[in-house]
């Protein structure tokens, strides 16, 4: 199937127009006309070579929202014309313990990622900075009618990546939740945690996002370089979601946890983080990690957003301006998710 998009042809780009062929749809496949695709910081890590070598040309994009253009003869979950989404993976083994539990992202054979993943036939998957995608119906999400497609797109990664750990570790009333980094993921973490009843504190690298953080539902806002404010916060948080894509002092952030508190790492900086064992031991603390979410939980999160009127704050940018959008992402100017509009 002929597809038009934008790709990088070498590490760090720039993006240029790229036409390529996707596999022809089979009986279980859904053909999606992509309308919007969010720009995740993972896309930037990927094209920058921070997560290892990539095959070029590479079309990133795993926050996909669009309309069903066609369905295979066996497709039952969606119909032509319906709004749908696709997240970070498009297939998995479907039989391992994790897949059977609906945790396809942790598939023991490895999930098939939406872009940059080498398939057995030698081809590689290409993502959502393009006009069409072909996906097995079991990996397609239904977008509730209340959510505009431009706002549904970031939920496919930023939304589920923050919703899932908040559900897993608990963010209800009485819980004190910290969110490190107020970007695409971070602002969703604030909205979700406050909607679940937690008291939310944002830990940001600058003063500039304070008003927005409070608007999103945070009760407190602390600048990480403000030693006095950080000392006052020490030992108080039950759960921290750390979204930082850059390096940081893990000991410093673990120091913010209360007894039995957990710091969940979702940001993926290149490099190794150091931790003093004593940082954990003295108050029975944990450091954990979390990867996106499975199909079932992603659908649950979309329905939750519809029922609670939770939406990402997006800046829509035409696909041909993707290089300008990256410059804004790199400069930490996105407020709070840049979303490409696909012509
Ligand atoms: P983003 O929109 O760029 O936001 C990141 C935020 O972190 C920034 O707004 C900034 O907030 C703060 N920050 C701290 N150090 C930074 C640095 N060196 N460069 C830029 N920002 C920095 O990124 P995102 O899309 O939310 O993604 C965040 C991280 O999560 C990335 O590493 C991404 O790869 C990862 N990720 C992981 C998963 C998963 O499944 N675990 C899924 C998606 C993304 P302040 O201005 O408030 O300091
Ligand atoms: Zn992502
Ligand atoms: Zn599996």
Give the per-residue pLDDT at 53. Answer: 85
Please, which contacts does 268-272 make with residues 24 or more away whose CB atoms are closer than 8 Å? 268/42, 268/45, 268/51, 269/244, 269/245, 270/45, 270/50, 270/51, 271/247
- CA pair distance 3, 21, nearest whole angstrom: 6
* Mean per-residue pLDDT, 65-71: 98
**Closest to 291 (Cα-Cα) out of 261, 268, 257:** 268
> CA-based angle 97:99:101, to the nearest 5?
70
Alpha-carbon distance of 300 to 321, in angstroms, equals 33
Backbone angles phi, psi at 289, to 5 degrees: -130, 160
pLDDT score, position 118: 86
> Ligand 2 centre and the CA of 227: distance in Å?
31
Across 47-57, average pLDDT = 92
What average pLDDT does range 300-325 have in this prediction? 98
Cα separation, 14 vs 322, whole angstroms: 9
Residue 52 reports pLDDT greater than 90 = no
- Of 49-58, 60-69, 142-151, 330-339, which gets the smallest average pLDDT? 49-58
For 1-26, the pLDDT digits (tens) are 999 999 999 999 999 999 999 999 99
Q: What is the structure's pLDDT at 252?
A: 97
For residues 217-240, average pLDDT: 98
Distance CA(32)–CA(148), nearest Å, equals: 16
Q: What's the average model confidence in pLDDT over 319-323? A: 98
How does pLDDT run across 121-176, given as a tens digit for each residue?
A: 888 999 999 999 999 999 999 999 999 999 999 999 999 999 999 999 999 999 99
Q: Pocket of ligand 1, candidates 154, 168, 181, 294: which has the most ligand atoms within 8 Å of its Cβ, to mutate?
A: 181
**109 alpha carbon – ligand 3 mean position (Å):** 6
Residue 260 — pLDDT band, cuts 50, 70, 90?
A: very high
Decide: 243 in ligand 1 pocket, CB within 6 A: yes
Joined tokens for residue 70: 């066609």
Atom number in ligand 1 closest to CA 245: 32
Q: Is the CB of 246 inside a 6 Å radius of any atom of ligand 1?
A: yes
Provide mean pLDDT across the span 197-225.
98
Is the Cβ atom of 152 under 6 angstroms away from ligand 1?
A: no
């Amino acid at each position: 199937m002929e597809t038009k998009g934008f790709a990088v042809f070498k590490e760090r780009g720039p993006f240029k127009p790229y036409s390529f062929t996707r596999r022809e749809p089979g009986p279980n496949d859904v053909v999606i006309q992509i309308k919007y695709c969010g720009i995740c910081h993972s896309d930037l890590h990927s094209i920058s070579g921070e997560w290892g070598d990539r095959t070029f040309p590479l079309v990133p994009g795993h926050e996909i929202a669009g309309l069903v253009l066609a369905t295979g003869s066996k497709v039952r979950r969606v119909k032509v014309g319906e709004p749908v989404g696709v997240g970070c993976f498009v297939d998995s083994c479907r039989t391992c313990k994790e897949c059977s539990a609906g945790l396809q992202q942790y598939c023991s054979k490895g999930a098939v990622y939406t872009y940059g993943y080498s398939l057995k036939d030698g081809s590689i998957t290409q993502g959502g900075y393009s006009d069409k995608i072909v996906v097995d119906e079991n990996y397609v999400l239904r977008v509730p009618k209340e959510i505009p497609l431009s706002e549904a797109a970031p939920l496919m990664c930023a939304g589920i990546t923050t919703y899932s750990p908040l559900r897993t570790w608990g963010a209800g009333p009485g819980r004190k939740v910290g969110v490190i980094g107020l970007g695409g993921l971070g602002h969703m973490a604030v909205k979700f945690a406050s909607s679940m009843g937690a008291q939310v504190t944002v830990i940001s690298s600058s003063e500039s996002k304070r008003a927005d953080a409070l608007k999103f539902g945070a009760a407190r806002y602390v600048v990480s370089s403000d030693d006095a404010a950080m000392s006052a916060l020490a030992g108080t948080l039950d759960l921290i979601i750390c979204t930082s894509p850059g390096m940081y002092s893990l000991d410093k952030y673990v120091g913010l946890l209360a007894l039995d508190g957990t710091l969940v790492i979702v940001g993926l900086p290149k490099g190794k983080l150091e931790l003093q064992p004593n940082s954990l031991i003295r108050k029975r603390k944990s450091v954990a990690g979390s990867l996106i979410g499975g199909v079932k939980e992603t659908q649950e999160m979309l329905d939750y957003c519809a029922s609670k009127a939770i939406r990402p704050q997006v800046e829509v940018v035409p696909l041909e301006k993707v290089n300008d959008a990256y410059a804004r992402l790199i400069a930490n100017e996105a407020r709070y998710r840049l979303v490409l509009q696909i012509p």
